Structure 1
């Protein structure tokens, strides 16, 4: 592991703190420790998990719209409001890695295509890390996996914000295989709602539904429990959901 700890600098929060400074999990948490190659952030929408992941990316120097240190392109709402309010502790510090945001992946793919149009002589080098061709020429799921297989390397940190958004269950298992193959040389911090991804062996799971943020066992996550209940007796779930007798 490279990233050892995140400290939330609550004493620097603005006096009139709106979102994200009003999020209970962020207001009540002083620090998070990272002691596993794969760490998951889980919680309901608005719980702060993506906000903290984006802040980590900002502190790492990654483009907060998605990308690595060397990416520079315009993207609306790509600032990280929470970025200046955390401190990262490393051992050792790494400078390589990537931040994936599922919601802005289209913009990142378009950025790569613009680079190729502006520098056609470097087409092969630019696309080499992304499956050898434009990400727009691949399906959403294929482009995600091309990024994972080709761009991810050793001695780096990878921050993934809801990567399951474009992945079928089978491709989520492909991603788990990639994580497993890299677990001894790379570190992953992943915000997710996927019960499949959360099942990765020996991962650390932090629940943002708690204040302060707390570690949680896989089987205790609402994602696992709700999915299990649905698969075991979906008729009962529908009765509760629809109010049918």
Structure 2
């Protein structure tokens, strides 16, 4: 059953202190942090979108770490570190939880999922009993294509009744797989899951009634899919590709 505002897992996120008191250095100098205010999450699906460098991944990483996830991804049982590059932003976040607690949870980060796969291999080599890889379908993630490994996590590891924080999950997915991912999100939402997703993919942003929070140089605002730059650029490309390319290639 879908979560509602009364029983969603994460309700809000805000800064503990006034943004003007933050250090004038990355990531605290980002407009999205300086103008964070209170972010209210949708009970089912919230998208955080924007151009490169706007702070989407930084914000998602801080939220995940504040909730107890490993900065490089995985479930809350993962505690490895390949390279400690995460900021201290999580220490300055106030996260308001909802009335229910998730039975499952996962922080999926596209750029470090290779490290998660390697950690699983290492744990399974020295472990006893059921192997961790069995919960991903049983086939080594390193023996699959990038996209197949991503999809193994989405289809096999995500079990429902969970909180899933996804940072650019479309990175290795074809358009068809992105649509399949959208269907999988719906399956898990119907099983009482909440998603918070950073993405550049208009296909993946199309979940009905989801909240889309767009980051730009001014901060953050809630928008509809059709109002996003991602949608308008793709629409222009498919409706008048020749004109777009003409202007793009002008010397």
Task: Please tell me whether residue 128 in structure 1 is matched to residue 134 in structure 2.
Answer: yes
- Give the structure 2 partner of residue 117 of structure 1: 125
User: Using the alignment, how far apart are the partners of 2:155 and 2:20 within structure 1?
Assistant: 39
Q: Kindly report the root-mean-square deviation, in angstroms, between the aligned alpha carbons of the 2 structures.
A: 1.6
Q: Deviations over 1:180-237 (max 9, x none)?
A: 1111300000000001101111110000116331100100000000000001111111
Counterparts in 2 of 1:15 and 1:144: CA distance versus 1, 3 Å? closer
- Give the structure 2 partner of residue 68 of structure 1: 75
Task: Please tell me whether residue 181 in structure 1 is matched to residue 187 in structure 2.
Answer: yes
- Give the structure 1 partner of residue 168 of structure 2: 162
- Give the structure 1 partner of residue 5 of structure 2: none
Q: CA deviation at 1:74?
A: 2.0
Q: Deviations over 1:126-170 (max 9, x none)?
A: 112111121111111111111111111222210000011010111
User: Using the alignment, how far apart are the partners of 1:20 and 1:207 within structure 2?
Assistant: 17
What is the number of residues matched between the two proteins?
242
Q: CA deviation at 1:36?
A: 3.6
User: Using the alignment, how far apart are the partners of 1:242 and 1:30 within structure 2?
Assistant: 41
Task: Please tell me whether residue 146 in structure 1 is matched to residue 152 in structure 2.
Answer: yes
Using structure 2 for the length normalisation, give the TM-score: 0.91
Could you list the runs of 4 or more consecutive aligned residues of structure 1 that deviate by over 6 angstroms after TM superposition? none
- Give the structure 2 partner of residue 195 of structure 1: 202
Alignment of 1:44-123 (within 5 A): 44-94=51-101, 96-119=104-127, 121-122=128-129
User: Using the alignment, how far apart are the partners of 2:196 and 2:61 within structure 1?
Assistant: 11
Q: CA deviation at 1:239?
A: 1.2
